[in-house]
Amino acid sequence: MTRTERIAALEAAAKERILVFDGSWGVLIQNKGLVEEDYRGARFTDFPGQMKGNNDILCLTRPDIIADIHNAYFAAGADISETNTFCGTTIAQDDYELDAQAVWDINLEGARIGRKVADEWTAKEPHKPRFLAGSIGPLNKMLSMSPDVNDPGARAVTFDEVYETYRHQVAALYEGGVDMYVIETITDTLNCKAAIKAIRDLEAEGQERLPIWISGTITDRSGRTLSGQTVEAFWNSVRHARPFAIGFNCALGADLMRPHIADLARQSDCLVSAHPNAGLPNEMGTYDETPEQTAAHIGKWARDGLLNIVGGCCGTTPAHIEAIAKAVEGVAPRVPAETKHTLRLAGLEPFEVA
């Protein structure tokens, strides 16, 4: 299928059923027991500093592992798998002193690996086409918050710098063949806006318009993002992008995420997604929630009419995704809310002019 045909198939599938996303990548990579040489490969043999821990670089040095993870999630029932490019920006990769060409190659090859695996599954099971989302993760520098507690106005990065790093990533993901972009684990809405602008500007310059999926993060029981926004304020801040889907992932387990997903479902006029962690981390930093426990929560949300896309984040595995897929099988997808034609503004709190 061409990319245009795949997007049409994605939109058609979303009307017919609840779509299933993949789960954690980090936990599967960690379980491989990789060593420094795996991360370096032939290309980075003499590179200074430590590479181990830079999971994105495996797109270049161990593409077999990345393909295996895509295959595992598609076999578990996922409709959508994401590229292994969560930290695939020049700003994030500066921690490893990688240059712009290496970062471009991470995104390009990450997309090519996922594209090949998705197409192979679609060829085997044409009744259930598989799709590839280009993963655009958060940065280690924020536009909305100061890195210095003694200087609230200080910033480690400018909007233009954030825009350029996302534009670089988006262009490479597009060339590699993704079907959509997922701007995920959003802690800073202004960073997200820079990513949205990068995508829309590239479209204005000739790239095909791809669906944008926006997934924020509620960081604690306050019900706010790290940059301080409530659920509704966050939605009002990004709805101008006319996203394919809006949702939340990470930070919380499913039991704590439900009220925030319900809030989105009540007001958003696009698809709603949820890919929570497998509970909260234990004292050792690992996750104890079983596939059955996670799936029970998400299945209930689906039956209550809250969801269009489901999946997992930290601590989830193909077994979790398989259980989630079974829990939502045959459940009708949520019907998007009707748009109210009012002026809606957002800072930390929403504001509506009737």
The pLDDT value recorded for residue 131 is 98
- 274 DSSP β-pair partners: 248, 310
Quickly state the pLDDT bin for 227 (edges 50, 70, 90).
confident
Distance CA 320, CA 24 (A): 10
Amino acid at 333: P
Q: Is residue 352 part of a domain?
A: no
The phi, psi pair for 132, rounded to 5°, reads: -120, 125
Q: Is residue 85 part of a domain?
A: yes
Distance CA 11, CA 34 (A): 38
Q: Is residue 346 part of a domain?
A: no
Domain of residue 235, CATH code: 3.20.20.330
Question: What is the mean pLDDT of the segment spanning 303-330?
Answer: 97
Work out the mean pLDDT of the chain and round it to a whole number.
Answer: 94
Q: Is residue 344 part of a domain?
A: no
> Is it the case that residue 54 has pLDDT exceeding 90?
yes
> Is it the case that residue 274 has pLDDT exceeding 80?
yes
CA distances from 54 to 59, 157, 194, 205 (A): 10, 22, 24, 32
Q: Is residue 234 part of a domain?
A: yes
The phi, psi pair for 173, rounded to 5°, reads: -60, -40
Q: Give the number of other Cβ atoms within 10 Å of residue 235's Cβ.
A: 23
CA distances from 337 to 251, 266, 267, 269, 305 (A): 26, 6, 6, 5, 11
Question: What is the mean pLDDT of the segment spanning 183-207?
Answer: 97
Number of domains into which the chain is organized: 1
> Per residue in 80-120, pLDDT tens?
999 999 999 999 999 999 999 999 999 999 999 999 999 99
> CB–CB of 257/249 below 8 Å?
no
- The DSSP string of 255-274 is HHHHHHHHHHHHH-SSEEEE
Q: Is residue 120 part of a domain?
A: yes
The residue ranking higher by pLDDT, 352 or 70, is: 70
Quickly state the pLDDT bin for 59 (edges 50, 70, 90).
very high
In the chain, what percentage of residues exceed pLDDT 90? 84
The pLDDT value recorded for residue 60 is 98
Q: Is residue 351 part of a domain?
A: no
The residue ranking higher by pLDDT, 287 or 11, is: 11
Distance CA 24, CA 315 (A): 6
The pLDDT value recorded for residue 343 is 67
314 annotated to bind ligand: yes
What number of residues does the chain have?
354
Question: What is the mean pLDDT of the segment spanning 208-214?
Answer: 98
Residues spanned by the domain of 102: 3-335
192 annotated to bind ligand: no
> Is it the case that residue 4 has pLDDT exceeding 80?
yes
> Per residue in 114-159, pLDDT tens?
999 999 999 999 999 999 999 999 999 999 988 888 998 999 999 9
The pLDDT value recorded for residue 43 is 96
Q: Is residue 349 part of a domain?
A: no
59 annotated to bind ligand: no
